[in-house]
Structure 1
Amino acid sequence: MMTELPKLGAPARHALSELGITCLEDLTRFSRAQIGNLHGVGPRTMSLLQAALSARGLSFQTAEAQVNAAKAKKAERNKP
């Protein structure tokens, strides 16, 4: 099930859409730092996104999960 993003300002919506983020579930592929570093995404937006994720039992991707995903991607590319 795709959960709508909370109401955000235009710059934040644009920044997220540039990464293909159209629902809360899409945010779980990114770390808090990655999203927070986007132009147009400030502290208020981060607070709204964090609250919306938490309310649905979701979270930003952790650093450990990012490392594991990168390793899996590399292993997939190296398959004969």
Structure 2
Amino acid sequence: MFEDAFRIFAELSWADIYNSEGLDYKEYTNKQKDSFAIFRSKKIFKFRITQKYRCFGEVVNGVFHVLMFDLTHKLSD
């Protein structure tokens, strides 16, 4: 399941990622939660892996770096 989402993410252009309804890629704005306290100064993004699972990370020089997985869907805003 993770493999499929990451394959799709890797194959798309950034424009396609932003416009993909399936990935629901967007900036994560609720960084006040304890899980993201150390990332408050960073611009964090998230995308959908499955209906329930999310992947959070930051983009550095055009590369998405995974910071955390949400397997409970409790971190999503």
Q: Which structure has the bigger radius of gyration?
A: 1
> What is the TM-score when the length of structure 1 is the normalising length?
0.27
**Higher normalized contact order (CA 8 Å, seq sep 6+, divided by chain length):** 1
Question: Of Structure 1 and Structure 2, which has the larger fraction of its residues in strand?
Answer: 2
> What is the TM-score when the length of structure 2 is the normalising length?
0.28
Question: Of Structure 1 and Structure 2, which has the larger fraction of its residues in helix?
Answer: 1
